[in-house]
């Protein structure tokens, strides 16, 4: 690239016939200008090859407007949807996001965090489970976690307990004789553990027989198929003729279970009722639309960004950005009733 | 935060009992150290609250090690998987990624690009379709696109033509009487258009009757269900008793079609064979595993990063980073045969 004369606001104003004030407003509050004016200025910037130098500005005022994000992976819909929603808050707060995929490797995550700190990120949002909240709390910047162990840091989580309770209540209301919850072995310090206790408490209050089956699910689709097929075989022996209400820890598992039953019977038998968790596309797009406990992902992500931005502002104002105790925000789950709990689904 | 004495390599060396050379190697080439040494140093950095100041280094040498990414959205599995793979190249190239979601809004995308340029990103990878390659080619930095209109910029795309050809050949080999391709109306300048021409050319060569049905699919699951149900109703009238080979433009559509047939018949009827595109989880996790033309997402993403990093290096070396003509790399599709094209799938 040949060296070019540096383009100034004066040059842009002259080129577009707008005032310098208008050009400045374009950079600081673009939506205060008419869309047509925005378009003219934005095209002029490309034509003039204008480069605002934020790096120089950072050195002047120390504000990078970067937030670091560490996600475990974005293969599962829950993580990619949360990431989608976080990135979309740019329009509201103006913060840019540097994203790392942790892949459940402690050492990598520590290096990523050092890398993020070296770019003077102002805050961090962590979805990955790998590092303890105690370790995260020692980092010198505002941190908010989403749906992971959070004893020592601020967090935003779904009210998983209520979600588990709602799922059990729906199945009990539909007259199930026995309720089964299928989940992977879960650490009680993870918010999602509440799904299990909520389910159990509801069954106890309603005096409905119940069982929690801990199985190593969520590792591969083929593995899940094998595990769920074994569960179906056992249920058909042990609960023959009974109306079975099955609550699975996520919608992907619920859809896999539905497909196994459908392949066997050509429909969802009347004595099986199924509820998932998340309200991910897997529930809506299943062969029979699956009832589910919806997580409000837009709110989880939106509140996480709001909270971290609030603490960044406190820190800039010279105040302590950490209160005496970490803040834990809780988002309500939303029970969504669909065909899989009608008890007459899939009849042909 | 109280002001702290700046931590130097000497301090870290003293604290860990490693030499300064070892500490320096940790920052420049961590994997040249034993994992245990990496762990000790990384923990020391947290304890000492060490902050490398890359922002100052950027000002010194102008290298941010940032690559900007613009994705249209990450709701669809294809985009979230490509993004996943791009972010994972950090371990190979060390580049960090600033990610924006375009949401198909031209004005927003232009603003995002200005924002990215203001942070002195060194290159850009664009998956979004919104801005023309002509406009992108005027930006003063290396750009690589993936699976979008690319006449004026470098790109990495799947060989869509071969993919469409393979899908048709599989269905013809299985003895289908008529082949149907279902797709949304597609701009001939988009790489995915090749799926249509490849399908048609194969049908012509094999002398198999075929039809391409252009429908407004991929806008919502419910819309897709309605459209595909209408197609099924028409096919059953017009091609009654014939063996129908259906090639859908993506796996999600293929799975929706499969579910509609399964709900109607309690199985996949022998006179329907189905092929999707992408090899996304939707194909493997469908009620009957669906044959599909797989995109090698890891290669698409890996080659895109490699190409942009190569051009960044050329630019740093003072060479022209753009050749005379844009480079277009092509990745082979991989045909995956599953139960949906056996012709006896789902029999009970």
Q: Give the residue-averaged pLDDT of A286-301.
A: 97
Whether residues A281 and A193 share a domain: the answer is yes
Q: Give the residue-averaged pLDDT of A13-22.
A: 90
Question: Are the Cβ atoms of B118 and A256 closer than 8 angstroms?
Answer: no
Whether residues A251 and A164 share a domain: the answer is yes
pLDDT at B320 over 80: no
Question: Are the Cβ atoms of A287 and B263 closer than 8 angstroms?
Answer: yes
In a domain, A307, yes or no: yes
| Weakest mean pLDDT among A36-40, A80-84, B208-212, B295-299 | A36-40
CB B345 within 8 Å of CB B339: yes
Q: What pLDDT does residue A193 have?
A: 97
ipTM, interface predicted TM-score of the complex: 0.80
| Distance of residue A347 Cα from the nearest chain B Cα, in angstroms | 9
Residue A50: band (very low, low, confident or very high) from pLDDT cuts 50, 70, 90: low
| Weakest mean pLDDT among B116-120, B173-177, B225-229, B244-248 | B116-120
- Give the residue from A58, A43, A213 showing the smallest Cα distance to A120: A58
Check CB contact of B33 with chain A, cutoff 8 Å. no
pLDDT at B1 over 60: no
Check CB contact of A223 with chain B, cutoff 8 Å. no
Whether residues A153 and A171 share a domain: the answer is no
Whether residues A164 and A241 share a domain: the answer is yes
Check CB contact of A93 with chain B, cutoff 8 Å. no
Q: Give the residue-averaged pLDDT of B178-207.
A: 97
Residue in chain A nearest B117 by alpha carbon: A51
Cα(B119)–Cα(A55) distance, integer angstroms? 6
Higher pLDDT, A250 or A50: A250
In a domain, A305, yes or no: yes
| Weakest mean pLDDT among A209-218, A258-267, B58-67, B257-266 | B58-67
Question: Are the Cβ atoms of A221 and B255 closer than 8 angstroms?
Answer: no
CB atoms within 10 A of CB A17: 9
Question: Are the Cβ atoms of A75 and B87 closer than 8 angstroms?
Answer: no
pLDDT at B53 over 80: no
Question: How many domains is chain B partitioned into structurally?
Answer: 3
Q: What pLDDT does residue B2 have?
A: 39
Residue in chain A nearest B265 by alpha carbon: A266
- Give residue-wise pLDDT tens across range B121-154: 999 999 999 999 999 999 989 999 999 999 999 9
Q: What pLDDT does residue B59 have?
A: 53
Q: Give the residue-averaged pLDDT of B239-251.
A: 96
pLDDT at A308 over 90: yes
Q: What pLDDT does residue B348 have?
A: 38
pLDDT at B24 over 60: yes
Average pLDDT across chain A, whole number: 90
Pick from B2, B41, B74 the residue to mutate for testing the A interface (most A CBs within 10 Å): B74
| Distance of residue B12 Cα from the nearest chain A Cα, in angstroms | 14
| Weakest mean pLDDT among B17-31, B74-88, B184-198, B258-272 | B17-31
Cα(B32)–Cα(B26) distance, integer angstroms? 8
| Weakest mean pLDDT among A64-73, A289-298, B272-281, B283-292 | A64-73
Which residue from B52, B80, B98 is facing A74, i.e. has the nearest CB?
B80
Percentage of the residues of chain A whose pLDDT score is greater than 70: 92
Q: What pLDDT does residue A2 have?
A: 39
Pick from B46, B64, B85, B120 the residue to mutate for testing the A interface (most A CBs within 10 Å): B46
Residue in chain B nearest A223 by alpha carbon: B285
Q: What pLDDT does residue B104 have?
A: 84
Question: Are the Cβ atoms of A285 and B91 closer than 8 angstroms?
Answer: no
The torsion defined by the Cα of A274, A279, A280 and A281, in degrees rounded to 10, comes to 80
Check CB contact of A34 with chain B, cutoff 8 Å. no
Whether residues A68 and A79 share a domain: the answer is yes
**Chain A residues 131-190 with a CB less than 8 Å from chain B:** 135, 138-140
Whether residues A311 and A232 share a domain: the answer is no
Question: Are the Cβ atoms of B285 and A100 closer than 8 angstroms?
Answer: no
Question: Are the Cβ atoms of A83 and B74 closer than 8 angstroms?
Answer: yes
Query: Residue with structure tokens 């008793």?
Result: B241
Residue B241: band (very low, low, confident or very high) from pLDDT cuts 50, 70, 90: very high
Whether residues B153 and B212 share a domain: the answer is no
Whether residues B154 and B301 share a domain: the answer is yes
Lateral strand order in the sheet of A272-278: A209-214, A178-183, A244-248, A272-278, A291-294, A334-336
**Chain B residues 244-303 with a CB less than 8 Å from chain A:** 252, 255-256, 259, 262-263, 265-267, 281, 284-288
Which residues span the domain enclosing B134? 60-158+297-333
Alpha carbon A189 to its chain's center: 18
Q: What pLDDT does residue A3 have?
A: 39
Q: Give the residue-averaged pLDDT of B26-40.
A: 80
Task: Decide the pairing of beta strands A209-214 and A178-183.
Answer: parallel
Which residues lie across from A331 on neighbouring strands? A158
Residue B70: band (very low, low, confident or very high) from pLDDT cuts 50, 70, 90: very high
Which residue from B56, B84, B266 is facing A75, i.e. has the nearest CB?
B84
Q: Which residues of A touch B111 (CB under 8 A)?
A: 30, 38, 42
- Give residue-wise pLDDT tens across range A234-292: 999 999 999 999 999 999 999 999 999 999 999 999 999 999 999 999 999 999 999 99
Check CB contact of A87 with chain B, cutoff 8 Å. yes
| Weakest mean pLDDT among A82-86, B199-203, B229-233 | A82-86
Inter-helix orientation angle B106-118/A35-48, to 10°: 40
In a domain, B153, yes or no: yes
Q: Which residues of A touch B83 (CB under 8 A)?
A: 74
User: Beta strands of chain A (E only): which ranges?
Assistant: 66-71, 96-101, 123-126, 143-146, 154-158, 178-183, 209-214, 244-248, 272-278, 291-294, 328-331, 334-336
Question: Are the Cβ atoms of B114 and A49 closer than 8 angstroms?
Answer: no
| Weakest mean pLDDT among A48-52, A207-211, A307-311, B327-331 | A48-52
Check CB contact of A37 with chain B, cutoff 8 Å. no
Question: Are the Cβ atoms of A287 and B262 closer than 8 angstroms?
Answer: yes
Whether residues B184 and B198 share a domain: the answer is yes
- Give residue-wise pLDDT tens across range A102-141: 988 899 999 999 889 888 899 999 999 999 999 999 998 9
Average pLDDT across chain B, whole number: 90
pTM above 0.95, yes or no: no
In a domain, A203, yes or no: yes
Question: Are the Cβ atoms of A51 and B118 closer than 8 angstroms?
Answer: yes
Whether residues B104 and B180 share a domain: the answer is no
- Give residue-wise pLDDT tens across range B201-224: 999 999 999 999 999 998 899 999
Pick from A136, A263, A276, A315 the residue to mutate for testing the B interface (most B CBs within 10 Å): A263
In a domain, B244, yes or no: yes
Q: Which residues of A touch B46 (CB under 8 A)?
A: 110, 135, 138-139
Q: Which residues of B touch A91 (CB under 8 A)?
A: 108
Cα(B282)–Cα(B287) distance, integer angstroms? 10
Q: What is the CATH number of the domain that holds A288?
A: 3.40.50.2300
In a domain, A235, yes or no: yes
Whether residues A177 and A228 share a domain: the answer is yes
In a domain, B141, yes or no: yes
Which residue from A55, A73, A114 is facing B120, i.e. has the nearest CB?
A55
| Weakest mean pLDDT among A20-29, A227-236, A255-264, B183-192 | A20-29
In a domain, A19, yes or no: no
Q: Which residues of B touch A263 (CB under 8 A)?
A: 287-288, 346
Question: Are the Cβ atoms of A74 and B96 closer than 8 angstroms?
Answer: no
How far apart, in Å, do the first and last CA atoms of chain B sit? 69
pLDDT at B345 over 50: no
Strand, helix or coil for residue B126: strand
Percentage of the residues of chain B whose pLDDT score is greater than 90: 69
Pick from B47, B83, B127 the residue to mutate for testing the A interface (most A CBs within 10 Å): B83
Q: Give the residue-averaged pLDDT of A300-321.
A: 90
Whether residues B282 and B167 share a domain: the answer is yes
Q: What pLDDT does residue A25 have?
A: 79
């Amino acid at each position: 690239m040949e060296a070019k004369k540096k383009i100034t606001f004066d040059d842009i104003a002259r080129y577009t016939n707008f005032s310098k004030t208008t050009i400045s407003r374009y950079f600081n509050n673009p939506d205060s200008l008419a869309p047509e004016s925005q378009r003219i200025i934005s095209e002029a910037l490309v034509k003039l090859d204008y480069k605002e130098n934020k790096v120089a500005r950072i050195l002047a005022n120390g504000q990078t407007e970067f937030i670091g994000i560490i996600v475990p992976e974005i293969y599962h819909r829950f993580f990619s949807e949360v990431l989608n929603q976080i990135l979309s808050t740019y329009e509201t707060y103006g913060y840019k996001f540097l994203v790392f995929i942790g892949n459940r490797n402690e050492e990598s995550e520590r290096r990523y965090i050092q890398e993020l700190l070296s770019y003077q990120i102002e805050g961090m949002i962590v979805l990955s489970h790998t590092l303890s909240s105690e370790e995260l709390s020692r980092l010198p910047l505002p941190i908010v976690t989403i749906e992971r162990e959070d004893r020592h840091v601020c967090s935003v989580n779904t009210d998983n307990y209520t979600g588990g309770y709602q799922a059990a209540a729906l199945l009990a209301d539909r007259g199930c004789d026995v309720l089964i919850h299928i989940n992977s072995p879960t650490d009680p310090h993870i918010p999602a553990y509440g799904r299990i206790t909520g389910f159990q408490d509801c069954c106890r209050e309603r005096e409905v027989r119940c069982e929690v089956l801990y199985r190593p699910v969520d590792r591969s689709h083929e593995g899940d198929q094998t595990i769920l097929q074994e569960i179906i075989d056992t249920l058909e022996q042990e609960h023959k003729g009974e109306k079975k209400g099955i609550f699975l820890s996520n919608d992907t598992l619920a859809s896999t279970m539905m497909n196994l039953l459908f392949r066997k019977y050509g429909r969802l038998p009347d004595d099986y009722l199924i509820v998932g968790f998340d309200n991910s596309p897997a529930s809506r797009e299943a062969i029979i639309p699956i009832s589910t406990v919806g997580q409000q992902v837009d709110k989880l992500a939106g509140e996480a960004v709001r909270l971290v931005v609030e603490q960044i502002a406190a820190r800039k104002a010279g105040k302590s950005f950490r209160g005496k105790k970490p803040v834990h925000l809780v988002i309500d789950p939303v029970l969504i009733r669909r065909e899989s709990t009608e008890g007459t689904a899939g009849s042909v």
